[in-house]
Amino acid sequence: MNDLKYYKEQADHHKKRLESYLENQKQEKKNNALMGKILMAIFGFLIAYSFFPWAQIEDAGVHLGLSFSGLIWGFAMWFNGKNKSNL
């Protein structure tokens, strides 16, 4: 009888751990989607800033390239988080 009680407690414990894991994973995906939006906003602003007349010409190519890379990174984080947050 003790064995059945032990296994039932273990099953309940593992079920709670699994539910907690799935909830944490879902929250992490939502956070990734939010971080992706923030990154896209920041790097989108930096791309627009590189076209302003007071931007330094010699750094414009590197600045623009890094900003596009950051924008793509933000989009990838947002897209990955958006697709997997509906588990």
45: pLDDT strictly greater than 50: yes
C-alpha to C-alpha distance for 25 and 57, rounded to whole angstroms: 44
Question: What range defines the domain where residue 10 resides?
Answer: 2-84
Residue that the structure tokens 């588990």 belong to: 87
56: pLDDT strictly greater than 80: no
pLDDT number for residue 80: 83
Average pLDDT value over all residues in the chain: 82
How many structural domains comprise the chain?
1
20: pLDDT strictly greater than 50: yes
- CA distance readout (Å), 29 to 4, 16, 48, 71, 78: 37, 20, 28, 18, 9
For the CA atoms of the chain, what is the radius of gyration? 23
Mean pLDDT, range 33-60, rounded to an integer: 78
- Alpha helix positions (H), the chain: 2-49, 60-84
| Cβ neighbours, 10 Å, residue 84 | 15
**Residue 13 confidence class, pLDDT cut points 50, 70, 90:** very high
pLDDT number for residue 87: 46
pTM over 0.75: no
